């Protein structure tokens, strides 16, 4: 929808992308500090609805902002296709590696003494259980090791998402809205990433100042990734195969996020209802409509 672009100076890209990146960074910070510094329980139904909504928004952002870049026919088609396939494959490989890393960390977080009857608690469920603990001793028994591997994976994911904001902003040009659409799409995702990461830290050992520091550091990774994305996208415009490889890399990361993270988390605990699933389609069509109406 935004293939007609006007040139921008690199300083404009950096300034614009920094502002756009602050949207998901702020959402992540609010989610993280909200879990760490408050004592309320997390509504599971609201969580499911928002996760479906986020998945729909991200999927629409991929379809409207990234796929047009990948399917553009300028340049050598064979070279562009090779760059796309290589970048996409590397994105899938990285996301699978990150998934395995965080999965192993969650396996280490299992509560002792339950053996094969170990329940599958997500980060939010562990956080809620800590909130409901009536005894400090019981709360301490529920705590696990600090989730360092999860924090590293989230930092990488945040940087990649920021990179996509920078790429979408650059690709949309002066009058496009690709950057803001991608930023809003990623914001819902980052809100829940912040909540789940903070929930995992809250139910783990470690001082509160350390957890607050990590909660501030992770959103900065999004902003840093956004600035890097603007610079990389601008510098690679004349190298289309590499450019398409970078976009393909990010596309794979977002598709993995939707299929293997957001939707799986949404169906992990409790019952699912059709009206909850509808939020996925609502997020998709609303984002699509907003993109059409806001296009010049």
C-alpha gyration radius of the chain:
20
How does pLDDT run across 272-292, given as a tens digit for each residue?
A: 788 889 999 998 998 888 878
Average pLDDT, the chain: 78
**What does residue 133 show for φ and ψ, rounded to 5 degrees?**
-65, 130
* Separation of alpha carbons 239 and 233, rounded Å: 10
* Separation of alpha carbons 151 and 200, rounded Å: 10
What mean pLDDT do residues 82-104 have? 85
CB atoms within 10 A of CB 58: 26
Provide, rounded to the nearest whole percent, the portion of the chain with pLDDT above 90. Answer: 17
How does pLDDT run across 197-208, given as a tens digit for each residue?
A: 888 788 787 888
What mean pLDDT do residues 157-164 have? 85
* Separation of alpha carbons 284 and 192, rounded Å: 18
Of residues 31 and 139, the one with the higher pLDDT is: 31
Of residues 169 and 256, the one with the higher pLDDT is: 256
Q: Which two tokens stand for residue 2?
A: 């935004």
Helices (H), the chain: 10-37, 44-61, 67-71, 77-108, 123-132, 136-142, 148-172, 178-202, 208-235, 240-257, 263-266, 274-294
What mean pLDDT do residues 255-262 have? 84
pLDDT tops 80 at residue 76: yes
Provide, rounded to the nearest whole percent, the portion of the chain with pLDDT above 70. Answer: 77
* Separation of alpha carbons 194 and 283, rounded Å: 20
pLDDT tops 60 at residue 243: yes
CB atoms within 10 A of CB 118: 12
What mean pLDDT do residues 230-257 have? 85
pLDDT band at 92 (very low <50, low <70, confident <90, very high): very high
Of residues 201 and 221, the one with the higher pLDDT is: 221
Q: Which of 56, 193, 57 is nearest to 124 (CA)?
A: 193
Residue 53 CA neighbour count, 13 Å, CB half: 14
The set of long-range contacts for 102-105, using a CB threshold of 8 Å and a minimum separation of 24, is 102/149, 102/150, 102/153, 104/149, 105/147, 105/148, 105/149, 105/150
How does pLDDT run across 131-150, given as a tens digit for each residue?
A: 444 444 444 444 567 888 77
pTM of the predicted model as reported, rounded to 2 decimal places? 0.73
pLDDT band at 40 (very low <50, low <70, confident <90, very high): low
Write out the DSSP string of 74-132: -S-HHHHHHHHHHHHHHHHHHHHHHHHHHHHHHHHTPPTT-GGG-----HHHHHHHHHH
Q: Judge contact between 66 and 251, C-beta under 8 A.
A: yes
Q: Which of 274, 173, 155 is nearest to 218 (CA)?
A: 155
At 230 the three-state DSSP class reads: helix
């Amino acid at each position: 929808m935004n293939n007609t672009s006007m040139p921008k100076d690199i300083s404009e890209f950096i300034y614009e992308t920094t502002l756009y990146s602050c949207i998901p960074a702020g959402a992540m910070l609010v989610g993280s500090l909200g879990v760490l510094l408050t004592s309320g329980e997390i509504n599971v139904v609201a969580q499911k609805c928002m996760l479906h909504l986020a998945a729909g928004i991200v999927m629409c952002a991929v379809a409207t902002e990234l796929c047009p870049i990948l399917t553009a026919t300028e340049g050598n088609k064979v070279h562009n296709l090779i760059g796309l396939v290589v970048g996409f494959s590397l994105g899938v490989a990285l996301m699978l590696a990150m998934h395995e890393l965080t999965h192993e960390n969650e396996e280490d977080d299992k509560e002792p003494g339950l053996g094969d009857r170990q329940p599958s608690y997500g980060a939010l469920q562990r956080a809620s259980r800590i909130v409901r603990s009536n005894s400090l001793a019981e709360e301490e028994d529920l705590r696990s090791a600090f989730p360092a591997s999860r924090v590293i994976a989230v930092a990488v994911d945040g940087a990649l998402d920021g990179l996509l904001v920078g790429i979408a902003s650059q690709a949309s040009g002066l009058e496009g809205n690709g950057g803001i659409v991608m930023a809003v799409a990623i914001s819902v995702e980052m809100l829940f990433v912040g909540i789940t990461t903070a929930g995992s830290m809250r139910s783990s050992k470690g001082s509160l100042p350390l957890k607050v520091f990590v909660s501030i550091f992770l959103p900065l990774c999004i902003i840093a990734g956004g600035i890097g994305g603007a610079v990389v996208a601008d510098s690679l415009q004349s190298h289309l195969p590499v450019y398409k490889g970078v976009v393909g890399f990010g596309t794979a990361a977002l598709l993995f996020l939707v299929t293997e993270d957001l939707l799986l988390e949404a169906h992990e605990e409790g019952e699912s209802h059709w009206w909850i699933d509808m939020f996925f389609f609502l997020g998709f069509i609303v984002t699509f409509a907003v993109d059409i109406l806001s296009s010049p």
